[in-house]
Amino acid sequence: MSISAVNSTLVRESGYINGRWCQAASGATISVFNPANGDMLGRVPDMGVDDTKAAIDAASQALAAWSATGPKERARLLRNWFDLIIEHKEDLARLMTLEQGKPLFETRGEVLYGASYIEWYAEEAKRAYGKVFAAPTADKRALSIQQPIGVVAAITPWNFPNAMITRKLAPALAAGCTIVVKPSEETPFSALALMALAEQAGIPAGVINMITSSQAAAVGRVMTDDSRVRKLSFTGSTRVGKLLYGQSADTVKKLSLELGGNAPFIVFDDANLEAAVAGAVISKFRNAGQTCVCANRILVQDGIYDAFIARFKAEVEKFVVGNGLADNTTLGPVINRAAIEKISAMVDRAQSQGAELVVGGKPHPAGELFYSPTILAGVTQDMEIAQQEIFGPVAPVIRFNDDAEAIAIANNTPYGLAAYFYTESHSRIWKLAEALEYGMIGINEGILSNEIAPFGGVKESGLGREGSAEGLADYMETKYLCMGGI
């Protein structure tokens, strides 16, 4: 199947500025490839500094009118957009599998997951409340109101080409902000398809602007330097997040940063083995291991260690590796050549440091960007593979003895995004949930993200939360009003 089989109104080879589909001022383009077979899918504009400035101008001009629309009207437009996404679910899923690689059952799931943020914030738009405080003296009254923060810039990654965009756009629009989005250069088509549906839904010109670009550093610099951009929302690597954090200092922007993780997945002796293995498989291998909340280190207690490895191996051997468009595929390719080289090298180094190969351990014959689902046992916490984010279908297993050791290993990282643990003990559930230094904890659960909950990390995994009422608050400012002479 090629891109021509996707509904043509969704396949856009243009950026979108001020309500118009447009090419780069320079005329340059980026080619987009299918990671499953290397086919070229099409070209999008390679926009640069001038285009980004034009997009910020448009967002800035549109701000006053958009923020003045009532929340009910913004909710109606978001709801229209949600309905259109659901109507085009299948085409959006196919387009995403073509450019990103993950199997269709996962891209279908992502379209629904991404849309759920739009539905949720369409509802939540109406629930931005102010406060009235007890004033300190009788002649004063004190209250606060919530206002949209202003123009927002968003930079998103390729691993969730739909949902990482809706998770930012939906609360920004609900709050009354306007936005300039730069999706990943690896997956611009999914972003542009969402843009086409937003336009069809009636979102006014200038409210959302989309810059496709391979010049990420230059585009990011324009966004951070412009004082009209009051907030930057970024999902991606910790390295780039730290760079943008620094660059935003001069204009003191509000920041949401959703960065890398090093998620521990802890299995205690008293765990339900079947549930723990199922959780480990989904948490580790979803999207070929390319999610920021993927289990990165699997910690298994002595008493259940051998049984866990045997059962985990049996489940991992069931993966069907191949092109995500085939109905039976359960594991697709990784995103690009750099990714496969990094993963291969990490597995080789882990083995040379003493890790034992249980299954996999090499590229997969399905194509150049496929890696066999892999388990490494006997890993220790000092090995590179236990310290760095793998972002591939490789599960390192570490053995531990007691709770204190598990907590110490789990917290021994600068990251703090997601952690998971499996136990049947209520006392251990509370103690672990409180002791783990992470923003999100899966307890007897391997999948934790949804629109109603605050998603985000602590330590070097980021700032701010996406989803829930907290996600809306992150796009608003509190203004305190003090009234005297009462």
The single residue among 45, 114, 171, 220 that binds ligand ADP, judged by CB under 6 A, is 220
Choosing from 100, 156, 256, 423, the residue that interacts with ligand ADP (CB under 6 A) is 156
Residue 249 binds ligand ADP (CB under 6 A):
no
> What is the rounded CA–CA span in Å between residue 476 and residue 486?
29
Question: Do strands 394-400 and 462-463 pair parallel, antiparallel, or not at all (unpaired)?
Answer: unpaired
82: part of which helix (H) or strand (E)? Answer: helix 71-87
Query: Does 243 contact ligand ADP by CB under 6 A?
Result: yes
Among 185, 315, 437, 477, binds ligand ADP (CB under 6 A): 185
CA distance 79 to 382: 49
Name the minimum Å distance from CB 187 to ligand ADP.
9
Amino acid (one-letter) located at 161? P
Tell me which of 135, 205, 216, 273 binds ligand ADP, using CB under 6 A: 216
| Contact between 336 and ligand ADP per CB under 6 A | no
Nearer to ligand ADP, 158 or 319 (CB): 158
**How is 312-324 classified by DSSP, letter by letter?**
HHHHHTT--BS-T
179: Cβ contacts below 8 Å, ≥ 6 apart: 59, 151, 152, 153, 154, 168, 169, 172, 173, 207, 208, 209
Least distance CB 282 / ligand ADP (angstroms): 21
- Residue 74's Cβ-count burial label (10 Å; 0-12, 13-18, 19+) is buried
Distance CA 291, CA 445 (A): 16
- Retrieve residue 428's tokens: 């251990």
Q: Which residue in 264, 284, 283, 280 sits closest to 272, CA to CA?
A: 280
Stretch that binds ligand ADP, among 16-24, 117-125, 180-188, 272-280 (CB under 6 A): 180-188
Tokens of 332: 């697709």
257 residue type, one letter: L
When binding is defined by CB under 6 A, the residue of 14, 162, 184, 461 that contacts ligand ADP is 184
CB of 220 or CB of 367, closer to ligand ADP: 220
**Is residue 177 within 8 Å of residue 151, measured between CB atoms?**
yes
Given the complex with ligand ADP, which of 198 and 339 has the nearer CB atom?
A: 339
157 binds ligand ADP (CB under 6 A): yes
- The region of 3-11, 20-28, 178-186, 377-385 touching ligand ADP under the rule CB under 6 A is 178-186
Decide: is 35 part of the binding site for ligand ADP (CB under 6 A): no
Residues 12-31 binding ligand ADP (CB under 6 A) are: none
CB of 339 to ligand ADP, least distance (A): 8
Pair type for strands 178-182 and 151-155: parallel
Per-residue DSSP letters for 236-280?
A: S-HHHHHHHHHHTTTTT-EEEEE----EEEEE-TTS-HHHHHHHH
- As a whole number of angstroms, the distance between CA 341 and CA 339 comes to 5
Which region, judged by CB under 6 A, interacts with ligand ADP, from 86-94, 216-224, 423-431, 473-481? 216-224
Please answer whether residues 8 and 194 qualify as being in contact, where contact means their C-beta atoms are separated by less than 8 angstroms: no
- The verdict on 237 binding ligand ADP (CB under 6 A) reads yes
Do 387 and 413 contact (CB within 8 A), yes or no? yes
> Least distance from C-beta 193 to ligand ADP, angstroms?
17
Q: Cβ distance 45 to 22 under 8 Å?
A: yes
236 makes contact with ligand ADP (CB under 6 A): yes
Q: Is 155 one of the binding residues for ligand ADP (CB under 6 A)?
A: yes
Give 156 or 262: the residue with its C-beta nearer to ligand ADP.
156
| Of 13-21, 135-143, 165-173, 179-187: span binding ligand ADP (CB under 6 A) | 179-187
Cβ-proximal residues to 167 (8 Å cutoff; 6+ apart), any chain = 114, 117, 235, 455, 466, 467, 471
- What's the min distance (Å) between Cβ of 211 and ligand ADP? 10
Find the catalytic residue in 13, 99, 258, 451: 258
C-beta closer to ligand ADP: residue 159 or 381: 159
Q: Which of 1, 40, 68, 217 binds ligand ADP (CB under 6 A)?
A: 217
State which residue has the least CB distance to ligand ADP: 220
258 is catalytic: yes
Query: SS3 for 400?
Result: strand
Name which of 56 and 128 has its Cβ closer to ligand ADP.
56
Using rule CB under 6 A, residue 240 touches ligand ADP = yes
Assign residue 444 a region: left if phi > 0, alpha if psi is -120 to 50, beta otherwise? left
Phi, psi angles (nearest 5°) of residue 245: -60, -50
Total residues contacting ligand ADP (rule CB under 6 A)? Answer: 15
What Rg do the C-alpha atoms of the chain give, in angstroms?
23
What is the nearest approach in angstroms of ligand ADP to the Cβ of residue 247?
8
At residue 379, the 3 state secondary structure works out as strand
Should residue 342 be labelled a site residue for ligand ADP when binding is judged by CB under 6 A? no
CB of 34 to ligand ADP, least distance (A): 18
| Residue 462 found at the interface with ligand ADP (CB under 6 A) | no
Q: Of 112-120, 212-220, 435-443, 453-461, which segment contacts ligand ADP by CB under 6 A?
A: 212-220
Task: Quote the least distance from Cβ 77 to ligand ADP, whole Å.
Answer: 26
- Strands 40-45 and 29-33, by their bridges, are antiparallel
List, by residue number, the catalytic residues: 258
The residues of the shown chain that bind ligand ADP, judged by CB under 6 A, are: 155-158, 182, 184-185, 216-217, 220, 236-237, 240, 243-244
